[in-house]
Amino acid sequence: MAVITYRQALHDTLRSELLRDPNVFLMGEEIGVFEGSYKITAGLLPEFGPERIRDTPIAEEGFVGAAIGAAMLGLRPVVEIMTINFSILAMDQIVNHAAKIHTMFGGQSKVPMVIRTPGGGGQQLAATHSQNLEVWYAHVPGLKVVVPATPADAKGMLAASIRDDDPVMFIEHLALYNTKGEVPDGDYVTEIGKAAVMKEGTDITIVSYSRMAAVALDVAKRLEEDEGVSAEVVDLRSLRPLDRHTIVESVKKTGKAVVLEEDWLSYGVGAEIAATIQEGAFDYLDAPVRRVGAAEIPLPYSKPLELAALPDATALVKVIHETLDATRFRG
Amino acid sequence: MPEVFMPRLSDTMQEGTVSTWTKNVGDRVEKGDVLAEIETDKATMELEAYDSGVLEKILVDVGKTVPIGEVIAVIGDGSGVGKGSGSGVAAGEATPAAPAADVPPEPPVSPMPGTPTAVPTGGAVEPPAPVSVKEAAAGSWANGTAPAGPIKASPLARAIARDAGLDLSTVRGSGPGGRIVRADVQAAVAALGSGVTPAAAAPTPSAISTGPDVEELPLNNVRRITAKRLVESMQQAPHFYLTSVVDADELVAARARINAGLAAVAGDATPVKVSVNDIVVKAVASALRAHPEVNVSYTGEKLLRYRRIHVGVAVALPDGLIVPVIRDADTLTITQISVQTRELAARARAGKLKPEEFTGSTFSVSNLGMFGVDQFTAVINPPEAAILAVGATKQEPVVRDGAIVVGHTMRVTLSIDHRALDGATAAKFLADLTALLENPLAALA
């Protein structure tokens, strides 16, 4: 088990999948000669050639549409969209075509494609390049949406996504690329649709995903050491399908839940989690489900303002304390 | 877990009355099966199940009227059958633990003169005090500041309270805005076992007397609640009393024979020993089986007749009373009653009784015989309709076949709630009970 970065895990998995299955090929802006804006595809063009590592024009709707066609005819395209903010340009192809072709045409054709794209803020990329739009896709039946938080899940879930017969939105996070973690060697596939309990606990459940899951885990460890609070951290890993069972079982154990998400709260992932909890664990709740998310504004460019607008460990700790206090946990 | 609602069966229907339950709790139900007949403002119609499963709970009794939309039953996988004190009653079967939905399960109050009845060997039963779940927690509101309006409580607190039979209106919430949270409910439930009420505990004595003549002792919660409940019982239930002198020769002999037999089969193990009171409890249960009209509660609107017989046995604690319940006492042997009573009394001393173990009795027995008391009257333990006060078994001159001889007698006094029972009815019950005590073999038969 090697310790590598999230970026390296993605790169290595793309390479091993290209080696494993000749139907797998990559498309995207600047992924070949330039090796990708975030260098995920470094070195792949020389190894696999321009037939399988295809640089595309700056035309998201066009190349996503092309990938859909390729997938329908038996290939397994892995498309890189430079950031999730640009996926909006391909929204019609993703939502109205990739997600629907299999069912609308009576199952004649599947669409086994992956769209890799990073989201998230915190890089001073300003309002149009810092968004968390995963919930837009998680809303749509016919798509799968995965949001790995660790290098190991980056590997296991990318392999699973490429081998999946449905279109998968594989959503990375800009701030995770340099994070390191242990990654299993060899062929490693993580089942899509299963949340991970990153840390077990008995006092409160923290539900999160992607970069915020890493923040939640860090907070939980600190709370345990500093205050003796036993927090359980549930990393969703997949927003669609959503592993409601793991969430509900955790809350049945702890009676309290806080959702940490980087997106805006209104109509967001946390709203779905809160609904899931009240449906599945109503009689186990000792306090309202709380959510911690981004300020409901276009994300500012200014670093102090950007930091103030994004959720962080301090905000999470505050809400955890409030929730614990609401149940007289701390006396 | 699918809930069955009172359906809207006509355009003008506002409420419906359950006229028949066609399924019983525990029955397998298939979608489309007729569950009940509902009487509306226009007609009686069948209510079909919308879900398949096991009928786990019936929440509305036959004859009871509830608004449309109210949950009247629960269908599940069967795991919920018999769970939770709020589970309601089986078709037409009003259990004391959960009477009709509109009658909150009234907790028992400790009958006034109550003593350890079934623990002759263990010495006086001590510690913790009793009192109903409802009232122990009520200490929190003893100053009468209970808030108006809907109760704010977390779902978890509600669930725990439901399972424990705790009335949330008596619990003070410590969460935001006075919300009752798990910690509050658990403290209230624990207080029942320990005799100490959580936050409220013993009030600070407002003025400790410095004078030499009188010492002020702060009331503990149990004492205060016990007092309140006893006053309620005496004020609301018009008591009348019937006393019978039992010729107890056979009773004494039967007890000796039973204990000799138990000792013989015990071998090297410590033998079970039954007390006079264990036999009294058995005889009471048998008499109640024969006189269901005594196994009742008066609710103000109706009489609840309990199909099951749960006998409360008053146990004295240093600063209060508790009435552990021998459930289905009519189905138990005297030995089983003895074992259960001792076990419950031991846990009462340790403050370990669960709420369901001292609530839900349908008739109580109080015994001061071991203190040499000949005869006394007991305060009824609401919502029961009667309580039996048992005096000492002693040797006295008795007239037998026209001659004065030495015999054993025992005086038992029945206190009766006149709202529920009349003199003649109670007298027949007491006569049969006396006969059973004079011929204990009949109680075993």
Candidates A129, A173, A232, A306; catalytic one: A129
Confidence band (pLDDT; 50, 70, 90) for B353?
A: confident
Q: Compare CB distances from B183 to A282, A285, A327 and report the shortest one's residue.
A: A327
Q: Which H or E element spans position A62?
A: helix A60-72
Confidence band (pLDDT; 50, 70, 90) for B212?
A: low
Distance from CA of A256 to the nearest CA of B (A): 10
- pLDDT single digits (tens) A194-206: 999 999 999 999 9
Which stretch of B173-177, B250-254, B342-346, B415-419 has the lowest confidence by average pLDDT? B173-177
- pLDDT single digits (tens) A220-237: 999 999 999 999 999 999
Architecture of domain B133-219: Irregular (4.10)
Residue B148's pLDDT is 54
Domain B230-444 top-level CATH class: alpha beta
Token pair 């103000």 is at which residue? Answer: B300
Which stretch of B65-69, B100-104, B262-266, B335-339 has the lowest confidence by average pLDDT? B100-104
Look at A90 and B85; give whichever has higher pLDDT: A90
Look at B39 and A151; give whichever has higher pLDDT: A151
Residue B195's pLDDT is 46
Interchain proximity A328–B184, CB inside 8 Å: yes
Q: Is the pTM of this model over 0.80?
A: no
Interchain proximity A327–B181, CB inside 8 Å: yes
- Please, are residues B204 and B218 in contact by the beta-carbon 8 Å criterion? yes
Instruction: Choose, out of B1, B160, B181, the residue to mutate when testing the contact with A (most A CBs < 10 Å).
Output: B181
Q: Is residue B28 over pLDDT 70? A: yes
User: What residue ranges of chain B are covered by domains with CATH 4.10.320.10?
Assistant: 133-219
Interchain proximity B183–A285, CB inside 8 Å: no
DSSP labels, A251-277: HHHHS-EEEEEEEESTTSHHHHHHHHH
Interchain proximity B156–A286, CB inside 8 Å: yes
- The domain defined by B3-87 folds into OB fold (Dihydrolipoamide Acetyltransferase, E2P) (2.40.50)
As a dihedral over the C-alpha atoms of residue B85, residue B87, residue B93, residue B99, rounded to 10 degrees, the angle is 50
Confidence band (pLDDT; 50, 70, 90) for B229?
A: confident
Distance from CA of A294 to the nearest CA of B (A): 25
Sheet containing strand A168-173, edge to edge, reads A53-55, A24-28, A76-80, A114-119, A168-173, A144-146, A238-240
Distance from CA of A192 to the nearest CA of B (A): 28
Residue A44's pLDDT is 98
- CB of B156 within 8 Å of any CB in chain A? yes
Q: Is residue A164 over pLDDT 80? A: yes
Residues in chain A with CB shorter than 8 Å from the CB of B154 are 285-287, 327
Interchain proximity B156–A284, CB inside 8 Å: yes
Q: Is residue B108 over pLDDT 50? A: no
Encoding tokens for residue B117?
A: 């009845």
Confidence band (pLDDT; 50, 70, 90) for B221?
A: low
Domains in chain A and their CATH numbers?
2-183 (3.40.50.970), 196-326 (3.40.50.920)
Mean pLDDT of A32-59: 97
Confidence band (pLDDT; 50, 70, 90) for B175?
A: confident
- Please, are residues B4 and B47 in contact by the beta-carbon 8 Å criterion? yes
- Chain mean pLDDT for chain B: 78
> Exposure of A48 by Cβ count < 10 A (0-12 exposed, 13-18 middle, 19+ buried)?
buried
User: What residue ranges of chain B are covered by domains with CATH 2.40.50.100?
Assistant: 3-87
- Please, are residues B254 and B262 in contact by the beta-carbon 8 Å criterion? no
Distance from CA of B126 to the nearest CA of A (A): 31
Which residue on chain B is closest to A256 by alpha carbon?
Answer: B156
* Distances in whole angstroms, Cα of residue B299 to Cα of each of A178, A321, B228: 72, 46, 19
Q: Is residue B222 over pLDDT 70? A: no
Mean pLDDT of B85-109: 39
Residue B320 pairs in a beta bridge with: B317
Mean pLDDT of B396-413: 91
Q: Is residue B85 over pLDDT 50? A: no
Q: Is B426 helix (H, G, I), strand (E, B) or coil?
A: helix
Interchain proximity A326–B181, CB inside 8 Å: yes
Residues in chain B with CB shorter than 8 Å from the CB of A283 are 155-156, 158-159
Residue B225's pLDDT is 66
- Please, are residues B242 and B416 in contact by the beta-carbon 8 Å criterion? yes
Tell me whether residue B418 is one of the annotated catalytic residues. yes
Distance from C-alpha of B437 to C-alpha of B415, rounded to nearest angstrom: 18
Mean pLDDT of A260-283: 96
Distance from CA of A217 to the nearest CA of B (A): 26
How much is the ipTM here? 0.77
End-to-end CA distance of chain A: 43
Which residue on chain B is closest to A325 by alpha carbon?
Answer: B175
Q: Is residue A98 over pLDDT 50? A: yes
Residue B205's pLDDT is 46
Residue B202's pLDDT is 42
- CB of B155 within 8 Å of any CB in chain A? yes
Distance from C-alpha of A23 to C-alpha of B178, rounded to nearest angstrom: 63
- Chain mean pLDDT for chain A: 96
Q: Is residue B258 over pLDDT 60? A: yes
Mean pLDDT of A278-287: 94
User: What residue ranges of chain B are covered by domains with CATH 3.30.559.10?
Assistant: 230-444
Interchain proximity B175–A326, CB inside 8 Å: yes
Residue A271's pLDDT is 98
> Which residues neighbour A226 within 8 Å (Cβ) at sequence distance 6 or greater?
none
- The dihedral built from the CA positions of residue B200, B202, B203 and B204, taken in this order, carries a sign that is negative
Q: Compare CB distances from B157 to A282, A286, A329 and report the shortest one's residue.
A: A286
Residues in chain B with CB shorter than 8 Å from the CB of A285 are 154-156
Q: Is B364 helix (H, G, I), strand (E, B) or coil?
A: strand
Encoding tokens for residue B399?
A: 């007239």
Interface contacts A/B by beta carbons within 8 Å:
37
Which stretch of B15-19, B101-105, B364-368 has the lowest confidence by average pLDDT? B101-105
